[in-house]
Amino acid sequence: MERIIFLVDMQSFYASIEKVTHPRFRHKPVVVAGDPNQRSGIILAACPLAKASGIKTAEPLWQARAKCPEVEVVKPHMALYIDVSMQITRVLEKYSDLVEVYSIDEQFVDVTHSVHLFKDRYRMAEAIHDEILDTIGIESRIGIGPTKVLAKMACDHFAKKHPTGMYELTKDRIQVELWPRPIGDLFGVGHRMEAHFKRMGLYTIGSLANHPLIWIKKRFGINGEVLYRFSHGIDPSPVTKHTHIKQKAIGHHMTLPRDYVKREDILVVLRELSEEVARRTRKQRYLGSGVSIYVRGHDFNRHDGFKCQVKLATPTAVSDDIYTAARQLFDQSWNAQPIRSVGVTLTHLEDKMTRQLSLFDDPIKKERLAEVMDQLKETFGADSVMRASSLTDAGQAKIRANKIGGHWK
């Protein structure tokens, strides 16, 4: 039996919630943006009225105001958005027990075994759309396909522009509807991979689909084969509620409020990121044996920066171990250019209970001390205990203690 999968996407999610919460914005162009005095002064979401004026997501706030001087700017309320996302999940669970949260505003639903309760898949999609609109007040778009990747691309490239907000992409229509599209429209292809494909002369999804797989695998390995399969609509991955239970990595990324040019300032942020990664790793009772860092330069248009990683001698959940590795990686790769964003990730995760202890090093003592610090932060707030370096101008921990995902709660 061929599967029937929906990808339910909320239209202008953050901005739509603000318009529902504040009726005075109903007929006005609204954008959700961070602090205009900081680097976070970029557009996170724009309602359809704002988009009609040419405003785009991720552009600077000053550009948006130049395009639409009357635009209403609202700071993000992340706790509210998370709560609404969970409400939407509960609505979707009425239609299927297989609901997978893909992001805060997108969720996969496998309706293969429940679609018979409706006349057809379109009637079911309409019912989902109408219930979300009636109960929460937000418009949704729904992509339909026999695989998750086709449902996702049906939503992104077709449903969002279709009058009904719904679209089905079937395997027999891939050559006609998907293959002529630019290679950058293929799910999983980012800016760097797009540039690699174009250098190979692969400008469309169809050109990748018809390129010899052996050469794709030789050039890009398993990732190349996955993308090749996606171009044919092949994606056997199931819709599961347990997708995020077993993680492969835990990372934390930060866009800085200004260009950081001094090594000592950047190291302050690297230590803060290492501590946050370690805290989250301990909370989920994992250990990790790989550390990677991601650094991006001040010019976002050039996509400059670097990403590198190292394997640790023993798995850890201690911030000092993670920071030491991150600092070494940074010193090896940094070219002294201004830094705009930085991230630290702990990889190769394993269950804490499976650890093999060393005869020469006892990490338990360090972990217990760290767990006490975790408990203090849980009880008295994330900024109740921190290093003195975080109180310098370079530190961001105190500011971010009152944020969710880098945005105000």
17 and 75 share one domain? yes
Ranges 33-37, 191-195, 247-251, most confident: 191-195
264 is a catalytic site residue: no
The pLDDT tens digits for 208-227 are 999 999 999 999 999 999 99
Band (pLDDT 50/70/90 cuts) for residue 364 is low
Burial profile 143-160: b = 16 or more Cβ within 10 angstroms, e = fewer: bbbbbbbbbbbbbbbbbe
Residue from 100, 106, 168, 275 carrying the catalytic annotation: 106
287 and 389 share one domain? yes
Mean pLDDT for the stretch of residues 120-126: 95
For residues 195 and 184, what is the distance between their CA atoms, to the nearest angstrom?
Answer: 9
276 and 225 share one domain? no
| Predicted structure pTM score | 0.73
% of the chain at pLDDT higher than 90: 63
225 and 263 share one domain? no
For residues 101 and 188, what is the distance between their CA atoms, to the nearest angstrom?
Answer: 17
154 is a domain residue: no
pLDDT at 35: 64
The pLDDT tens digits for 42-94 are 888 999 999 999 999 888 888 899 999 999 999 888 889 999 999 999 999 99
pLDDT at 166: 96
213 and 260 share one domain? no
pLDDT at 212: 95
253 and 402 share one domain? yes
94 is a domain residue: yes
305 and 385 share one domain? yes
For residues 353 and 391, what is the distance between their CA atoms, to the nearest angstrom?
Answer: 36
CATH code: domain of residue 34:
3.40.1170.60
Tell me if 105 is assigned to a ligand binding site.
yes
pLDDT at 38: 55
39 and 185 share one domain? no
Band (pLDDT 50/70/90 cuts) for residue 107 is very high
Domain count, the chain: 3
CATH code: domain of residue 213:
1.10.150.20
389 and 254 share one domain? yes
- Identify residue 12 by its one-letter amino acid code: S
274 is a domain residue: yes
For residues 45 and 73, what is the distance between their CA atoms, to the nearest angstrom?
Answer: 10
76 is a domain residue: yes
Residue numbers of the domain that contains 64: 6-109+126-141+159-166
The pLDDT tens digits for 248-299 are 789 988 888 888 999 999 999 999 999 999 999 988 888 899 999 999 887 6
28 is a domain residue: yes
For residues 13 and 112, what is the distance between their CA atoms, to the nearest angstrom?
Answer: 27
Band (pLDDT 50/70/90 cuts) for residue 163 is very high
260 is a domain residue: yes
119 is a domain residue: no
For residues 151 and 167, what is the distance between their CA atoms, to the nearest angstrom?
Answer: 9
Mean pLDDT for the stretch of residues 159-164: 92
215 and 266 share one domain? no
Average pLDDT score over the chain:
87
Element (H, E) at 151: helix 148-157
Q: Is the pLDDT of residue 405 over 90?
A: no
Band (pLDDT 50/70/90 cuts) for residue 346 is very high
pLDDT at 360: 52
For residues 275 and 270, what is the distance between their CA atoms, to the nearest angstrom?
Answer: 9
276 is a domain residue: yes
224 and 269 share one domain? no
CATH code: domain of residue 306:
3.30.1490.100
Mean pLDDT for the stretch of residues 137-156: 97
389 and 278 share one domain? yes
Six-digit token pair at 106?
């997108």
Q: Which residue has the higher pLDDT, 360 or 272?
A: 272
